[in-house]
Amino acid sequence: MRVTLMQKLHMITGSVVLLTSLPVLWFSELDALTKGVFLLCMIVLSSILTRQLSAGLREGLDAMELGLLNLKDGEFATTLAYSQNDEFGKLCQLYNQTALQLRAEKQWLYQRELMLDKVLQSSPQALLLVNSNHQVVFSNYAARDLFSHTEKLEGLSFETLKQSASMGLKLALGEEREGLFSVTLDNQETQTWHLAIGEFLLNNQPHRLYILKQMTRELSRQEVMVWKKVIRIISHELNNSLGPISSMLHSGKLLTRHVDEPRLTRVFATIDERIAHLTEFVQGYGKFAKLPIPNLAAIEWGHFMGAISEQWRCTFEGNTSLKIQADQIQLEQLMINLLKNAHESGSAEQDVCARAYRQHENIIIEVLDRGKGMSEQVMANALVPFYSTKASGSGLGLALCREIVEAHHGQIALFNREGGGLGVRVSLPIN
């Protein structure tokens, strides 16, 4: 049986009274009844005095018990009203100070959790936290988009989630091997992702964190930087050679101006033509390597395409009042290059179409034709500088389109259309 502190105090007081009264009763000449009444009165009196003197103690103990129960429940807003100037009063005051400090720290942690959740939810990296039961306990918006879910992923089985993923993502998660992998979207666009896996304890339970980062833009940026460096070196070397050659050609013409030799004239004309071609080549790639920062402005799709279609015949669709935030000169260069390729694909003029529409937080521009399309190998290299399937092509058109789109923080992708033909999809952010 549990004995309380107050019961112990009463027992101690009664024992002390009994021990101090026994000598008096033993040596006194009172009869037994009187001794019994006297002893009972002493015990009752001591009990009353003990209760009166320990009333503050009981109040302090009750207050401390209530406070500790609040702490156990995580409630730090309640303070103790016990204010006696004794030891329990000091303990209650210390408790109130501790509770206020814990409340402030709890509010600070709560704000940090809100900030962390905001950062994780807005992160472009897809985050998945899976517990030891293979259930998803946390996911962000990027993860939902990657798995094509509109609702939260929390509570779903990780195995079920993997089965609903695209083939490349399913294989990467199934192998659980860190590194790069490719994902092919429904629109046949291929993206490169990086998978990182971390393991740690959360609430003494093992958890696994999957971090999936979209690397397509970063790899593309690095590739373009390498190409630009190569182009600058080639342009520099060609310019250093073209200047002296052009000067020597001019001197040769002056020295042989009185020589009547038709073959020599043809030689000079050929050299002059190749110098002009190389100069145009260098200038074109110099423009690619030194593309200026876009000067963004609101462009009305209908008015813009009305002017473009006067030069390159095409049908254009979409909301004519749709606003596109872009550099007008660069957007014109983009559309001219894409429409030029569409017309040169062998497509009938009436089958060349340009359309724009809004999709989530992006403006999508598509240029479609009914030409020959592209093989997988050609499509994989079509956006690379110097690559061209045309006998007289410089490999600059689509590479410049890619550079313009990425300068606008957008994406460009090629895909073969059902029924024949090629489509080019450009995605530009609204803001």
Cβ atoms within 10 A of the Cβ of 220, count?
A: 18
Query: Closest Cα to residue 297, out of 268, 266, 323, 264?
Result: 323
For residue 78, what are the CA distances in angstroms to 58, 59, 338? 20, 17, 69
With tokens 């929390």, the residue in question is 154
Contact 397, 284 (CB under 8 A): no
Percent of the chain predicted with pLDDT > 70 = 79
Taking 80 as the threshold, does the pLDDT of residue 85 lie above it? no
Note the pLDDT of residue 368. Answer: 92
Contact 423, 414 (CB under 8 A): yes
Note the pLDDT of residue 375. Answer: 81
Q: Are strands 136-139 and 205-214 parallel, antiparallel or unpaired?
A: unpaired
Note the pLDDT of residue 218. Answer: 67
**Region of poorest pLDDT, from 136-150, 160-174, 281-295, 307-321:** 281-295
**Region of poorest pLDDT, from 135-144, 180-189, 337-346, 394-403:** 180-189
- Architecture of the domain defined by 297-429: 2-Layer Sandwich (3.30)
With tokens 């182009």, the residue in question is 231
Q: How many secondary structure helices (H) and strands (E) does the chain include? A: 13, 12
Contact 124, 146 (CB under 8 A): no
What tens digit of pLDDT does each residue of 133-148 get?
889 988 888 888 888 8
Contact 429, 409 (CB under 8 A): yes
Region 196-200 average pLDDT: 86
Note the pLDDT of residue 154. Answer: 87
Task: Write down the pTM of the prediction.
Answer: 0.48
| Residue 156 φ then ψ, to 5° | -75, 150
The residue type of 306 is G
Quote the tokens at residue 329: 């000169």
Sheet of strand 422-429: strand arrangement = 315-317, 353-359, 362-368, 422-429, 411-416
Note the pLDDT of residue 425. Answer: 92
In the chain the first and final C-alpha atoms are separated, in Å, by 74
Note the pLDDT of residue 383. Answer: 75
Please give the residue that has the higher pLDDT: either 301 or 82: 301
Local structure of 382: helix, strand or coil: coil
Angle, helix 328-343 to helix 301-309, in steps of 10 degrees: 50
Average pLDDT of the residues of the chain: 79
Collect all residues with Cβ–Cβ distance below 8 Å to 365 and sequence separation of at least 6: 324, 335, 354, 355, 356, 425, 426, 427, 428
Cβ atoms within 10 A of the Cβ of 329, count?
A: 12
Please give the residue that has the higher pLDDT: either 318 or 120: 120
What tens digit of pLDDT does each residue of 221-235 get?
676 677 667 767 777
Interatomic CA distance for residues 300 and 99, integer angstroms: 61
Please give the residue that has the higher pLDDT: either 245 or 15: 245
- Write a three-state SS string for 158-183: HHHHHHCCCHHHHHHHHHCCCEEEEE
Question: Which CATH number, 3.40.50.720, 2.120.10.30, 1.10.1040.20, 3.30.450.20, labels domain 123-214?
Answer: 3.30.450.20
Note the pLDDT of residue 390. Answer: 61
The residue type of 113 is E
Greatest CA separation found in the chain?
167
Quote the tokens at residue 286: 């110099």
